[in-house]
Amino acid sequence: MGNAMLARLRAAMVMSSARLNDMLAQHAPGLCPFVMLAEFPRSGVNWTRDLLADCLQLPVPRHAMFPVTFPAILQTHSATPIRGIPVAYVLRDGRDVFVSHFWHCVSAVEGDGALARRVLRFHPSLGDAASPVEARMTRFYDEWRRRPSGSRANWGEHVRNWLTPEAGRAPAVIRFEALRSDPHATLRRAIRDLGMPAPENFVIDFAVERNALHRQVSRSTGPVDNLTRLRRKASVGGWRGEMPEALQRRFRDDFGAALALAGYPEV
């Protein structure tokens, strides 16, 4: 078996494992010893996951090829709310999510391989690298609004599904902006809402310092070159300077109800 075939087999096993974890959490929560974090893609779940993992002293399986059967923190992009296990929904202003998703996908298609092909399947407009950024972002928005890469639902549907559950216990909500402005208090509240034992203060201090954005590659608060493959700065409200005004209006028209539900002002 060649290396390429082994790589495809591994990727398929990782994807199948993630789907099976989601199914177990949905339909057999009693068998799931893990904490689940859900998000619409680019809402900040990776950073949130690492902070909580250090606070709760739980492992974070990455690219697991088999279902997780031990206490751990997992993440999902599922638009179907999960009940019966500790679960939190990571929420971020959809306009910042959109801008982050755009640049993430631009970076992906600059590369080669399965990720670039998958992104282009949902966002063929990004194949036109010669177009001005504003034109590419506008075409990307049309695709993102209908069916974005990484999610079976658009941002508004995803938020409505998780924040207006038909039945069952509502999830804990971890607001990305609150985590940026006051990580200590936000983590304490999230851990309480998850029903997990409260860690000592020094443990939360350690988690916040260890996962501070300035310690991560290219996460300083200075200017960001969007046309490189560097990680972006996880800004709050950066959409005001990056989204064309016409797109801002379209976003309000398309997702105004979801913005209101999520507690974000339209301007």
Q: Cα(first)–Cα(last) distance of the chain, in Å? A: 55
Q: Which burial class, exposed, middle or buried, applies to 123 when counting CB atoms under 10 A from its CB (0-12, 13-18, 19+)? A: buried
**Quick one: CA dihedral 24, 172, 186, 30, positive or negative?**
negative
Q: Do the beta carbons of residue 208 and residue 184 sit within 8 Å? A: yes
Identify the CA nearest to 158 among candidates 177, 141, 145. 145
So what's the pLDDT on residue 130? Answer: 86
Taking the C-alpha atoms of 104, 106, 148 and 53 in order, what is their torsion angle to the nearest 10 degrees? Answer: -10
For residue 80, give the 3-state DSSP assignment: coil
Q: Which domains does the chain have, with CATH numbers?
A: 3-93+156-214 (3.40.50.300), 94-152+232-262 (no CATH)
Residue 36 CA from chain centroid, whole number: 13
Q: What is the pLDDT along the chain (267 residues), one digit of tens a residue?
A: 577 677 777 777 777 888 888 888 887 877 888 899 999 999 999 999 999 999 999 999 877 777 888 899 999 999 999 888 899 999 999 999 999 999 999 999 988 788 888 899 999 999 988 889 999 999 999 999 998 989 999 999 999 999 987 655 668 999 999 999 999 999 999 999 999 999 999 999 999 999 987 666 444 444 444 444 444 567 899 999 999 999 999 999 999 999 999 999 987
